[in-house]
Amino acid sequence: MESVTEQRKKKILSCIQPSGIPTLGNYLGALKNWPPLAEEFDGAFAVADLHAITVRQEPAKLRRQTAEVLALLLAIGLDPDKTIIFVQSQVPAHAQLAWVLNCFTQFGEMSRMTQFKDKSAAHADNVNVGLFAYPVLMAADILLYQADLVPVGADQKQHLEIARDIANRFNGIYGDVFTIPDAYIGKSGERVMSLQNPEKKMSKSDPNPKGTISIFDAPEVIMKKVKSAVTDSEAKVRFAEGKDGINNLMGIYSCCTGLSMEEIEREFDGKGYGDFKVRVGEAVVEELRPVRERYERIISDKAYLKEVAEKGAEAASGIADRTLKKVMKKVGFWIP
């Protein structure tokens, strides 16, 4: 039992879908923040494969990508001896709690979700009920671990608000069952945009690979993509409205170098976009190089990955099952 004077260490949880090869957007917007947060707080991080099947996936590819994303979580520097790292489908409590929470979520509030609107437009032939209920499963992920903080990119803010609403509603009926989570959105990199269409977020499921830098792209591929990024005709490196392409490259450069927008403007004063793009490309290559090198070593060790997944699922289940049991009792399920 924790004493009143002893402050509970805050808990954080986040997940990433194995729906493709993770992008620079996933890295700068989310993954990069995770290891320092895991040092400071009690962390749990998952590969959200249940979420991934809201869009049709090829089984062999999904299996491979799940192992790859798990390896990536290790490659970014999360330590499985200190942090829980697991695959969502290996912890049945996620699907179980999601069902209960579905019954505490209104059709109307789900219909307002912008990601659902975007994804149902992109996959008009498969607007399934899972895609609609996606934020409820995400709420289950978070609430099972009683997470205080959820580090995500800005695109997930609306889903975090729904998770808070569901938790508050449930607590309002049954007493304090769930911790109310807060989103943790990093200052820079919160929204990395497509290099080809800077009004759209960079996404790993984007069919146009030219707009997306994958975490595993070779240096020359990264250079080529940055050099062909869409800009404008002003030829002046400055952060301003209407300069979405340059703003995006400046944001990326800022994340990789730690420089502010003013410092970047100063660095490239009097220089053209050509020079700027070369520096952005180099900075991205250097940012991703250590991750890619560690990843190459980890992905080839399947026995180690299996061990991490098994240990992670066991630790995650220990926490998740406790919350699930509490919920089952509260709603009135008979537990003999």
Rg of the chain over CA atoms, in angstroms? 21
192 binds, among ligand ATP, ligand LTN, none (CB under 5 to 8 A by kind): ligand ATP
Q: Exposure of 233 by Cβ count < 10 A (0-12 exposed, 13-18 middle, 19+ buried)?
A: exposed
Catalytic residue chosen out of the listed positions 201, 225, 243, 277: 201
The residue nearest ligand ATP at its CB is 29
- Under the binding rule (CB under 6 A), the answer on residue 211 touching ligand ATP is no
CB 328 within 8 A of CB 335: yes
Which residues share a beta bridge with 157?
A: none
DSSP E strands, the chain? 11-16, 42-47, 84-87, 149-151, 182-184
Q: With H, G, I as helix, E, B as strand and everything else as coil, classify residue 192.
A: coil
Size of the site for ligand ATP (CB under 6 A): 21
Q: Considering CB distances under 5 to 8 angstroms, the limit depending on partner class, which of ligand LTN, ligand ATP, none binds residue 326?
A: none
10 binds ligand ATP (CB under 6 A): no
Scanning 13-21, 102-110, 257-265, 328-336 for contacts with ligand ATP by CB under 6 A, the matching segment is: 13-21
Which of residues 29 and 43 has its CB atom nearest to ligand ATP in the complex? Answer: 29
Task: Show the tokens assigned to 161.
Answer: 């608000």
Q: 152, 185 in Cβ contact below 8 A?
A: yes
Write down the least CB distance from residue 220 to ligand LTN, Å.
Answer: 29
13-32 mask for ligand LTN (x: CB under 6 A)? xxx-x---------------
Does position 309 interact with ligand LTN (CB under 6 A)? The reply is: no
Residues 6+ apart with CB under 8 A from 43: 11, 12, 13, 34, 37, 78, 82, 83, 84
* Token pair recorded at residue 140: 């289950």
The 3-state DSSP class for residue 218 equals coil
Name which of 105 and 231 has its Cβ closer to ligand LTN.
105
Residue of 13, 50, 152, 160 interacting with ligand ATP (CB under 6 A)? 152
Catalytic residue status for 236:
no
Query: How many CB atoms neighbour CB 220 within 10 A?
Result: 10
The 10 Å Cβ neighbour count of residue 63 is 13
- Would residue 243 show up in a list of annotated catalytic residues for this protein? no
Q: Which of residues 113-142 bind ligand LTN (CB under 6 A)?
A: 138, 141-142
From residue 167 to residue 206, the character string flagging contacts with ligand ATP as x (rule: CB under 6 A) and all else as - is ----------------------xxxx--------xxxxx-
Which residues face 201 on adjacent strands? 193
Q: Please give the residue ranges that form the binding site for ligand ATP (CB under 6 A).
A: 16-17, 19-20, 25-26, 29-30, 152-153, 155-156, 189-192, 201-205
Positions marked active-site: 119, 201, 204
